[in-house]
Structure 1
């Protein structure tokens, strides 16, 4: 069961948004696997590891955080993902 779910609308191609997400996760030292329709990721934070899945439908990048440190709010993770995806 997801601990936190959200969707981020995007413009452009699904390949571009996946490439952006992958680059951001890997730059943070995490692991990312998937394609233009769905996949999963994990990244370590000072508080612990965050794991999740994503799916793309139309122009929406949907994220389900499946595991996260108790002390790390889902809203903080969502904010960071939104920031990553908005960067050029």
Structure 2
């Protein structure tokens, strides 16, 4: 099991970011639960990627709890930034 932690700065409201993130995960067949403040997600991309998130001010803090060893943390971070940042 691997673990990554990173933050994504955002503009707009936490609700807007929550809706973009939820939509992006669900479009890929993943699951998303929580509120605009915190929660968890899981998606299957070359294996299971799951983690938690927490909003602090204008920053989305993400902790990846499980990921395929062949997918680097930077790739996950960049993909999430392009979808919700």
Match of 1:58 in 2: 57
**Structure 1: where are the runs of 5+ without partners?**
none
CA contact (8 A) 1:18 1:36 kept: yes
**Structure 2: where are the runs of 5+ without partners?**
none
- When normalised by structure 1's length, the TM-score is 0.92
Match of 2:13 in 1: 13
Q: Which has the higher contact order (CA 8 A, sep 6+)?
A: 2
CA contact (8 A) 2:2 2:69 kept: no
Distance 1:74 1:2 in 2: 9
Distance 2:52 2:34 in 1: 9
- The residue correspondences of 1:30-45 to structure 2 (distance < 5 A) are 30-45=30-45
Q: Pairwise CA RMSD of aligned residues?
A: 1.4
CA contact (8 A) 1:39 1:54 kept: yes
Once the two structures are TM-superposed, the CA of residue 36 in structure 1 deviates from its matched residue by: 1.3
